[in-house]
Amino acid sequence: MKKKLVSVLLSTVMVAGVFSGLGISASAAENEIYMFISSPEYADAINELIDAYKEVEPDVTINYETTQNDYPTLLKAKLNSGEVPDIFSSTSGKEIDVYREWSADLSDQPLAETMLPSVASSMASTEEGGGIYGLAIKGNYFGLVYNKAIFDEVGIEVPKTLGEVEAACEAISEAGYTPFTTGFSEWWVFKHIWQHFLAAAATNADTTVAELVQKFENGEAKVSDYPELYDNFFQFIDLAVKYGDDKPLETGLDGELAAYGSGQAAMVLGQGAWIEADSLAIDPDLQIGFAGYPVTEDAAQSQIISGSDQALRVAKDSDALQATLDFVNWWYTSDYGTQWFTDVAGVVPPVATEAESDFEIIKQGSALEESEGAAPLGVCYSTDSWHQVFGELMQAYVAGTADKDTTCASIEEQWAAIDGAQ
């Protein structure tokens, strides 16, 4: 999720495509796909996917553009201008219906039969008539990524309760390591941390994450009503700042990778399996560990989170609709496409497949989910538009320009304003 724009234009010679001063011919338009999606951390993997598809359909051109920063704003500008990308992305769950009017119903496509039921449910519309309006680009595990060797050297266990965090950080600091690398210059890091505390708040309030989020959207709840959010989350962020990077608001994903991959930092915040390959490129012998966040004083609530947070959408009025459908169906049903998720992208496959991942975070995540269970994917119950504002509010808190109560009041206000009308 690098905060930069990566624009990749991968073109093939199109025999039927004739260019003129008036633009490309209809036949060219029918075979030219424009894909504009978030998640630039998967840019290299998607480039490989596109290269593979060129071998299958050499007359199809796929123009690929990705960004993380301000993606919702940029996407809405394109949609409102009528320049709808043939493939675009959104958050799953909440945002499936937000972009329904521009999206094709994929229920009758072959790919719908390959998606895991749990994934397909987060791609389904809740509006009258139903339908599947997205396909998951990935499954994921979210949790605390740590360096096993550092914890072994220091002689401590990974903290499972909030009360154990500071003692662990003190021991790690005394051994000459940085306890946390935070990535707080990236707004999206905060949502990946927040969702763990949100899950605990919902559990302890005997409700679901979806129901709790709905209360905030309706203006029926305050952050201070839930100690897991008002106390524990902010306490954790304070500890991360105290025992983290020297300049937390100047450290992004690249900085986290450098600190963790080089063995300087013991724990990484707000990340997942997507950092594994780059970390191992720095140190192939890095001993990667994966655990739940310490969110309360109940160790059983230190769980990883599992689910699919990003959906790809196909524009229903695309000039290249058939070519686009052919591409995504190949992606989600072919031998190469289904193996791409584990072998190239390094994500939890959102489709039924016998392929096993070589990624340590995914293997450990799968084992933890089986042995200890996993919390629900809370980020899919709010829009990315709200998540970005939330992240920016937390950046102001970390900077010291807003106190906790002011930040909480703004979180409540913006939750209702941005997502309440959705």
Give mean pLDDT in consecutive 10-residue pieces for the chain, a chain of 422 residues. Answer: 36 31 50 92 92 97 88 92 95 89 96 84 87 88 96 98 97 98 95 97 96 96 98 98 96 94 97 89 97 97 90 96 97 92 84 82 91 90 91 98 98 95 60
Cβ contacts of 346 within 8 Å, gap of 6 or more: 45, 273, 274, 276, 277, 357, 359, 362
Backbone angles phi, psi at 311, to 5 degrees: -115, 140
Question: Which pLDDT score, from 0 to 100, does residue 421 have?
Answer: 66
Question: Which pLDDT score, from 0 to 100, does residue 28 have?
Answer: 62
Cβ contacts of 306 within 8 Å, gap of 6 or more: 139, 140, 141, 142, 348, 365, 369, 374, 375, 377
Q: Is residue 374 part of a domain?
A: no
Domain count of the fold of the chain: 2
Question: Which pLDDT score, from 0 to 100, does residue 14 have?
Answer: 32
Question: Which pLDDT score, from 0 to 100, does residue 351 have?
Answer: 86
Question: Which pLDDT score, from 0 to 100, does residue 357 have?
Answer: 80
Question: Which pLDDT score, from 0 to 100, does residue 77 have?
Answer: 95
Q: Is residue 369 part of a domain?
A: no
Q: Is residue 215 part of a domain?
A: yes
Same domain, 412 and 389: yes
Same domain, 64 and 104: yes
Same domain, 115 and 261: no
Same domain, 129 and 20: yes
Q: Is residue 376 part of a domain?
A: no
Same domain, 68 and 148: no
Structural domain harbouring 186: 144-303+383-419
Residue 164 sits in a domain of what CATH number? 3.40.190.10
Q: Is residue 372 part of a domain?
A: no
Asked if 304 contacts 142 with a C-beta cutoff of 8 angstroms, the reply is: yes
Amino acid at 199: A
The CB density around residue 52, as the number of other CB atoms within 10 Å, is: 16
Question: Which pLDDT score, from 0 to 100, does residue 32 have?
Answer: 97
CA distances from 390 to 3, 105, 209, 334, 349 (A): 16, 31, 17, 39, 29
Question: Which pLDDT score, from 0 to 100, does residue 15 have?
Answer: 29
d(CA 422, CA 412): 15
Same domain, 12 and 110: yes
Q: Is residue 22 part of a domain?
A: yes
Asked if 235 contacts 159 with a C-beta cutoff of 8 angstroms, the reply is: no
Q: Is residue 270 part of a domain?
A: yes
Same domain, 285 and 408: yes
Same domain, 290 and 148: yes
Same domain, 159 and 104: no
Q: Is residue 375 part of a domain?
A: no
Same domain, 299 and 318: no
Same domain, 65 and 167: no
Same domain, 220 and 351: no
d(CA 422, CA 95): 9
Question: Which pLDDT score, from 0 to 100, does residue 380 have?
Answer: 86
pTM: 0.80
